[in-house]
Structure 1
Amino acid sequence: LEDPTNAIDGPWRAADGSALRRSAVRHSAIPALASALGVDPVPALARTAALCAADDDALSEWTRGLLAVSCEAASLAGEGSLALVVSEVSGAPRAVRARALREVASRAGIRLLSGVHVDALDDLIVAWRGQGPIPLPGGRATRVGRGTQARILFEARSPEPTRDGG
């Protein structure tokens, strides 16, 4: 099967007019790697991709299990707010905590978190020192409570009204 998007000089182009990145990698980067290494890198890349996919599946499953016992509706905050139970997530590996933090934020309507945001959220769990609310794109997160009652509260910000009142 011939896919025209695979051709480096084909009709399909990126928005800036350059070759599609996948095509450019296939036709330029991989041959350059093969030349530099003296072996075909594709089998090793395929094995690495399969290992990464298996790791991703395992981390996703672990995160789902963790969220099943640690994520709850935050009845004291606004509608749609969620809380993450600190004592349930503090012992999880960083990779799982980071996924859990991103997922709870997303469920609460807070998206587009950067690595800096996730680091600050993780500090509310593993490096608590009384820091205040963490401003996030579209909301905020705050640590509330103490000991086993400690929670990370995720609150989405209401959209700003437009000038026409809508």
Structure 2
Amino acid sequence: MINQVNHLSTIKLSSTKIILTLGLSTLGIVTGLTPEYNFQSNAITINNQAFAQNFSDAELTRYAQAAVEIERLRRSTFANIEAIVGEERSSQLACHQQNSINELPSNARSLMNDFCQNSEAIVRRNGLSMNQFNQITQQVRQNDALRSRLRDITRQL
């Protein structure tokens, strides 16, 4: 009887581990974060380091073309926004920070919203999804070899 109880508690513990593992895996897929659970210390750690991906030269070329075009648009747009709100405030703006955009005066807000929409259009026109573009951006920041490949491809444009 005692063996049966021990066996059931082992199964229950294993089920809990499986459910926890599936939950953390789902969280990682949805958010792009890497959650890890240490069963010995009962601690959860979350990293934002994505696993290295191999991008083809064609993907990196499309990325580089989009990035160059977006940078040109960014410079002209942000020069106009800086004229309205100042350099310090404009340097804190990003398309994914809607609250900071909403706090801008209407003319600067309109410029920023147009920039964000046009940036997305540029990415799509170059054959990438926003998710792909953002993944490459994140990997280029973290991976020296990928950054070097991208630099070489950008020079050839």
**TM-score exceeds 0.5:** no
Structure number with the higher strand fraction is 1
Relative CO higher for 1 or 2, CA cutoff 8 Å, sep ≥ 6?
Answer: 2
Structure number with the higher helix fraction is 2
TM-score (norm 1): 0.25
